[in-house]
Chain A
Amino acid sequence: MDNKYDAIVVGAGHNGLVCSALLARAGKKVLVLEANEQVGGAAVTREFTEGYSVSACAHLLYQLQPEVRKDLKLVTRLASEDMTTIALSEDGKHLRLKAGSVEGVSENDAEQYRAFHKRMTRFSDLLRKFFNKPPPRLGTKNFKDLMTLGQLGLDLRMLGKEEMQEFLRLIGMNIHDEVTERFEHPLLKGAICLDAVLGTHLGPRSPNTILTYLYRLAGDHGRTSVPAGGMGSVSNELAHAARSAGVTIRTATPVKRIVISNGRATGVDTEAGEHFESLMVISNADPKTTVMKLIGAKHAETGFARRVSHLRAKGNAAKLHLALDGLPTIEGLSKKDYAERIIIAPTEHYVERAFNPAKYGESSPNPVIEITFPSFRDETLAPSGKHVMSAIVQYAPYDLKGAWTAAAKAEFLKVILSTLAKYMPDIEQHITASELLTPADIESEFHMSGGHWHHAELTLDQFLFVRPVNGAAQYRLPIEGVYLCGAGAHPGGGVSGAAGRNAARAILSREK
């Protein structure tokens, strides 16, 4: 068997698949090695209890970049599309948010929200431009880098004087100040804060949360959808595109190490003892796993290894899957509302207080929750008449004091269920099975350090030119032949395919 490839991609997450497909299209012989049985990484659908399936990690699609769709000609079939966000209120007076409009608030709030959304989407479009190209290097005289940098400055100026001022002001700000300046309704403030902090180790008052909010919008302006068959369908589609382009994908083939000989990558060894040769190894794994585990810090220089070890990637998002024998009652919701995105984040203070304990390695006594019932529109996921609930629950810090023991998990599950019960009094009666994935579980199942969605915290000090760390922001590690293509690289996580696409482009343009 021929074990020689032009490129080996470690990990078949969405970014790895996108990257491999684009490389194969450029004529490369590409091998993708995936540790798990399925492709998709954190975008997978799997059974969690007999008869019930769920998108096991990411559960909503809102960031897949149009460029990726176009390049790979994706036509994802959606079960729910352009979902409304319903912000639950205990008294049943919920808010409904969709594309800049919000129902259930004062005229003034509604008007403010329209204006807010308009501005934010405009800024997110600007960010999106940055997201779809490799960040330029600073301090070089390289013409291409200078051009990209110049383009960044120009795009910024094209916003117009006033909007540019506002952009520069907002980019480092916290979402809490912005929402309290603009809005009155606590549910509206809570809902926006939740979107800004999901998947991060930040609270609404943390500077940087405008950036994370914009990040969320920088795909589809915040429109969320659920693919038919769960997130795994997207991954399967990407895998199909990759295979059609000639990529070989091997699942259930965990990589043990990236082989470095004489200072450069020459291939990979698998856990099973196989060896594949390639002078280009592209890691879809997070930067810490890539450098510390797959490569081995000894093959890097000290400063670089130290930076990677300082990379902040502590996940706080837990994932809850419930098998339900029927839909729980939520006062004030109509039947079709169960197809929407439902959130529990009653006020901006609530979100902040949920975050507080996470700073000390404690889980939230009153967590914020993002809920979907994917089975509502997709019968393939649960037996007829039964349902699946998929929820993201924050904050469940990765480094919980005393660790995520079975008892700690059971305790946290109780907390979540009692929070849910405030809005869905009969929830517990409907539960036939449950699965709670803490960041520690997510780390071990999906192989991401700290169980962090973004592989590395999405803050300005780990962003753009310095993502993931100095000296590796152009997808290329300072170890010859090794590249990054995952969420830890620019621009970050979310099922967007941007990092994978940028990495492929950076690699191909370097070859020229």
Chain B
Amino acid sequence: MKTYDAIVVGAGHNGLTNAAFLAKAGLDVVCVEKNDYIGGATVSRNLYKDWWYSNCSYVCSLLRPEIYRSLELHKHGLQVTPYGGSVQFMQNGDYYGGYHDDEVAYREMARFSRHDADAYKSYSADVMRQCRFIRDFLLSTPPDPTSFKPKDLMELARIGGKFMDMGEDRMHETIRFWTMSVADYLGEYFETDVIKTALSGSGIIGTALGIHSPGTAYVLLHHYMGEVDGNAGSWGFARGGTGAVAKAIAGAFQAAGGEIRTEAGVAQIIVKNGKTVGVALDNGDEIHADIVVSAMDVKRTFLTCMDKNDLPEKFHRRVENFKIRGSSGKVNIALDGLPTFPALPEGSSLYHSDMHFIDSMERMERAYDDWKDGTWSKDPYIDMLIPTLSDPTMAPPGKHFMSCFVQYCPHQIEGRAWTADEKEAFGKTVINQIANYSPDFKDLILHAEIRTPQDIEAEIGITEGNIFHGELTMDQLLFNRPIPGYAQYRGPVGGLYMCGSSTHPGGGIMAAPGANAAREILSDLKRPNTVPENFGDD
């Protein structure tokens, strides 16, 4: 059997990114993938003839522009097309629209509250400040606060310096921002329920927390990160579906000489004498390399694909305690035509927007209470988009594809597996909520795919089907992510690395974990770094 320099396990966007940067440094790299398609959760699948389903992740805003540029993804077919605005349908028949144009957005907000319309600017500035603060740390390895190594101390000092630079008042605001609930945070700026509701969604997406849970204000940044660079079209759809992102990164990887093997699920990461030597595949084959990089979530990596005896006991326990919570599901719907939303004027730009069907903070929080009780939200928070309005390649002409991200949806129902009836009922919950605002919607449905976290786990392999590979709570961020003492992409075994979304800075199609891990590996190998630096402060 051929021996490689490195094996990357999992061909999701992070695995591929990692592999691409290693290959660019001249390493002989193979990326193995259990499915017969690449992309992991960054995928669009041709489930029906002429139909492409982006059936896990669905928008593209976080992909670090440094990585995009460095891997020349445009040359490998990636093109992101922007979409516009958002809308919040209200139970009283009204709606709250978010618009691209600042003045139109202002007018709409002022329709509900002049106070809120005027507060929005300082709100944006305050959130943007936090974005700028952390943006710098996305493409860098988090320092270990317990270490006395010069590199860690310097990085800590750099973070400390940036923090101090804010001045006393804004330092305090930063502490508060990182610890508050999104509901309380928004409450300090806005008075209108529907406006707060519209803004609060980004504080809980992908987390098993409610809008009133402390620590959720920080999650807002995941929404704003796409905008902080000020690059036009940073929020958008990848033309051809999110799978196009994975395809483009794979293209870059292959162009650098890398090899991808699909239908090559890893049964075990092999360890000898405290060092990894390769992987054993499900079919019994072995592939050998001194470096194994896992793009799988940490629970799957260490609890499923490794022998407990190969791992330090405390590490193993901490992996067991790492929290990956299935909290959201997807319902993907193929439509015979564009559904109408009578509350919107005909031809409204808001058809191209993020649509939501929940209009109060109380409904948002009650949706979470259902999840805590071990069931899906009966009145869920749905983030619905019709990508085919921007991207004609995803469905036959005149037809439309609708993507519904649904929160909250548990991995299991009251601690046991989902039944087929429950899954059906979950889908109905979503369809009915939308149909409340679109009478012709149900009749247009051609086919649909209902995906609970359990389904995503079964197909993609992510623990609890959580596309973020682990909760974004303070105890699992930065130097705590995924495991304190192991936040620098190195596993507890020689030659073993982690590069998935379980590592800093976390999930979303950001590709930063994959890139950061590559930089650490190359530094350990004393190879020249191929991973780009942050574009830097402006």
Query: Taking beta carbons and an 8 Å cutoff, which residues of A are in contact with B?
Result: 137-140, 157, 161-162, 164-166, 168-173, 177, 181, 202, 205-208, 310, 312, 352-353, 356, 359-360, 459-461, 463, 465-466, 470-471
Contact = CB atoms under 8 A, between A and B. Distances in A.
Contacts of A162: 314, 485
Given A168-B480, A356-B372, 15 more contacts: A165-B146, A169-B475, A169-B480, A171-B475, A172-B474, A205-B213, A205-B372, A207-B474, A208-B215, A359-B212, A359-B365, A461-B175, A461-B184, A465-B175, A470-B172
Contacts of B480: 165, 168-169
Contacts of A356: 369, 372
Interface string B169-198: 101110110011000100110000000000
A170 B475 contact: yes
Most buried by B among A177, A202, A461, A470: A461
B479 interface: yes
Contacts of B84: none
B168 A138 contact: yes
Contact of B479 (A168, A205, A312): A168
Contacts of B474: 171-173, 207
B214 interface: yes
A152 to B, nearest CB: 13
A161 B484 CA distance: 10
Contacts of A164: 145-146
A483 B411 CA distance: 51
B179 A459 contact: yes
Interface string B425-442: 000000000000000000
Contacts of B314: 162
Contacts of B362: 359-360
Contacts of B175: 460-461, 465-466
Nearest to A172: B474
Nearest to B374: A349
B484 A461 contact: no
A164 B146 CA distance: 7
Contacts of B484: 165-166, 168-169
B205 to A, nearest CB: 17
A206 B183 CA distance: 13
Contacts of B167: 139
8 contacts: A139-B164, A162-B485, A168-B484, A172-B179, A172-B474, A205-B372, A207-B215, A360-B366
Contacts of B169: 470-471
- Top 5 closest pairs, chain A to chain B, by CB: A172-B474, A165-B484, A460-B179, A139-B168, A470-B172
Contacts of A353: 373
B176 A461 contact: yes
B486 to A, nearest CB: 10
A165 B485 contact: yes
B213 A465 contact: no
B372 A352 contact: yes
Contacts, number: 99
B60 to A, nearest CB: 29
B377 interface: no
B384 interface: no
B475 A172 contact: yes
Interface residues of B, number: 39
Nearest to B170: A139
Contact of B214 (A166, A181, A352, A460): A460
B188 A310 contact: yes
A138 B171 contact: yes
Nearest to B177: A461
Most buried by A among B176, B314, B373: B176
A72 to B, nearest CB: 33
Interface string B478-496: 0110001100000000000
B473 interface: yes
Contacts of A465: 172, 175
B209 interface: yes
Interface string B350-367: 000000000000100110
Given A137-B168, A206-B213, A471-B169, A461 B475 contact: no
Most buried by A among B175, B215, B323, B475: B475
A312 B180 CA distance: 11
A181 B475 contact: no
Contacts of B188: 310
A460 B168 CA distance: 17
Contacts of A205: 213, 372
A205 B181 CA distance: 13
B214 A208 contact: yes
B419 interface: no
A162 B474 CA distance: 17
B214 A461 contact: yes
Nearest to B365: A359
A172 B168 CA distance: 23
B309 interface: no
Contacts of B366: 360
Contacts of B187: 310
A177 B213 CA distance: 14
Given A168-B480, A177-B323, A138 B485 contact: no
Contacts of A139: 164, 166-168, 171
Contacts of A177: 321, 323
A461 B182 CA distance: 12
B479 A181 contact: no
A207 B209 contact: yes
A174 to B, nearest CB: 8
Given A140-B168, A310-B188, A461 B180 contact: yes
A164 B215 CA distance: 21
Contacts of B365: 359-360
A142 to B, nearest CB: 11
Contacts of A171: 474-475
Nearest to B474: A172
Nearest to A164: B146
Interface string B490-534: 000000000000000000000000000000000000000000000
A168 to B, nearest CB: 7
A361 to B, nearest CB: 9
A465 B167 CA distance: 14
B172 A138 contact: yes
Interface string B448-475: 0000000000000000000000000111
A118 B360 CA distance: 43
Contacts of A181: 320-321
Nearest to B362: A360
A502 B172 CA distance: 21
B157 to A, nearest CB: 12
Nearest to A139: B168
B146 A161 contact: yes
A380 to B, nearest CB: 42
Interface in B122-149: 145-146
Most buried by A among B212, B214, B314, B480: B214
Contacts of A168: 145, 479-480, 484
A371 B466 CA distance: 42
B206 to A, nearest CB: 16
Interface string B192-224: 000000000000000001001111000000000
Given A177-B323, A459-B179, A461-B180, A172 B215 contact: yes
Contacts of B215: 172, 207-208
